Structure 1
Amino acid sequence: MESVMRRLPQVLAVSGTLLFVATSFSAAAPLNSMNEVGKALLACWNPPANSKGSSVTLIFSLKRDGTLIGPPRPTNISVAGDEQAKKHFLDEAVAALQHCTPLQFSPSIAQGIGGQVFAIQFASPKKDSLTPTN
């Protein structure tokens, strides 16, 4: 009984690690369509405060393993405010894209995705959802 008690912390640590690994793998199901890829990327987006009606379109390419090929580049920036506000909004959009990758693709998507150029628009709502309308 004493040897079991001494080994209990090791057994619990291994069990916890296996549970974590199993949970991580099941939570990240492979993406099967470009629509799912877009939704996965936008799920990482949290618009900066006070950026109502702003947007930025980024172009980027992905490798078959779901990582970015180089940094994303802006093609259209529509942000109210000064240059600092525009830079902050752009930086947040780039960070969201980088944070979301690598993505996990199904074999059919992975086969054709490598090196393709994609565009995605990160936007803020045009008005606060908490602001009452008249």
Structure 2
Amino acid sequence: MARFLTMAGALLAAPFPCLAASLNSMNEVGAAMQACWTPPANSENSSVTLSFSFKRDGTLIGPPRTTAIHVVGDDKARKAYVDAAIKALNDCLPLSFSPALAQGIAGNVFTLQFSSSKK
């Protein structure tokens, strides 16, 4: 059974360069991915959650899936927000996992919420 881990952006606010030194924990993975995220303009109070799995080499096994969307606006705004989240995820890849993290990460399902704060 796949392990589920939610990495909420609000809890992972420490800045990490996307392709820096090896990542040692899922908190570091989440922070690195959040560092690649820039919400679309005028998207306050919105969020999208993506579900995905990594290979040991830091790339994805298939495309991410959208599992939750809360975007203020029309279908065009929703699509732009989801596209921006997927772009942020892809822009961070491949991630560099430490050997220990790479050993346990492959094939597990993870979720990451991309959100924009209130203004």
TM-score by length of 2: 0.83
Instruction: State the match for 1:12 in structure 2.
Output: none
Task: Please state which structure has a larger fraction of its residues in helix.
Answer: 1
Secondary structure of the residue aligned to 1:84 is helix
Alpha-carbon distance, 1:28 to partner: 1.9
Show the 5 A alignment for 1:30-49: 30-49=22-41
| Higher RCO (Cα < 8 Å, 6 or more apart) | 2
How many matched pairs?
A: 101
Aligned equivalents of 2:103, 2:23: Cα separation in 1: 12
Aligned equivalents of 1:90, 1:110: Cα separation in 2: 27
What is the identity percentage for the equivalent residue pairs of Structure 1 and Structure 2? 65
1:27-73: CA deviation from partner (whole Å, max 9, x where unpaired): 72100011000000000000000000000000000000000111111
Q: Which runs of 4+ in 1 moved over 3 A?
A: none
Question: Would you say 1:113 and 2:88 are equivalent positions?
Answer: no
Task: Please state which structure has a larger fraction of its residues in strand.
Answer: 2
Alpha-carbon distance, 1:126 to partner: 1.5
TM-score by length of 1: 0.74
Instruction: State the match for 2:10 in structure 1.
Output: none
Q: CA RMSD in A?
A: 0.8
Of residues 81, 86, 90 in structure 2, which corresponds to 1:94? Answer: 86
Structure 1: state its 5+ residue gaps: 1-26, 128-134
Structure 2: state its 5+ residue gaps: 1-18
